[in-house]
Amino acid sequence: MSEIQAPTSEHNDLVGDVRAHLRLATGEHLAEMLMAAAGNAEEGAARHEPHLDDADLADLMTALRAAQAVAMEELPVTFTRGEILLGFRAIGALLRAWNQTAAQRSTWSDILADRRDQARILRNCLHNVVLSETISHRLAARRQAVVDGLAEFGEPFYPEARAPSAHTVFD
């Protein structure tokens, strides 16, 4: 499994990146895609870009809610459901900030800083999940290599007289 980094894009691409990462947040790549989406949301809020229109914001919020539902079901139990909800709430606040002017954002800059930090906490937890999954994949590959090696070199483990033949049926 390769590590996916949150891309740094121009502001128009940033919206597309968040949308794509949220929509791809399923199955094996759930943690990676959510980590990238959270990173993009943080980046946009920190740069005070992009400025979303209402339709783009609604589309992103729909994608965020769908990804949250998947995350609630599929993320490991090492995440409490409360931590997941808090992280998604933070990402939602960052996305909503994209829909505001700089003057509007400045009225809640402390809260916005809190939401960026909460999104970062979620990203860090998701990164831990990605690392754990990567370790598990490497372990599984090593185990399979041992099993394959045993199958290839079966004779030292089975004396010729007792070794099962290729046509032996086990009941």
Residue range 111-140, pLDDT digits in tens? 999 999 999 999 999 999 999 989 999 999
Tokens of 42: 């943080």
* Percent over 70 (pLDDT), the chain: 80
Entry pTM: 0.74
Three-state SS string across 138-153, please? HHHHHHHHHHHHHHHC
What is the 8-class DSSP label of residue 161? T
DSSP sequence for 95-134 = HHHTTS-HHHHHTTHHHHHHHHHHHHHHHHHHHHHHHHHH
**Is 25 within 8 Å of 34 (Cβ atoms)?**
yes
Q: What is the sign of the dihedral through the CA atoms of 79, 22, 8 and 92?
A: negative
| CA neighbor of 31 nearest in space, from 75, 77, 82 | 75
User: pLDDT, tens digit, for every residue of 73-126?
Assistant: 999 888 889 999 999 999 999 999 988 888 888 888 899 999 999 999 999 999
What does the mean pLDDT of the chain come to? 82
DSSP H or E segment with residue 137: helix 109-152
What are the two backbone dihedrals, phi and then psi, of residue 147, each rounded to the nearest 5 degrees?
Answer: -60, -45
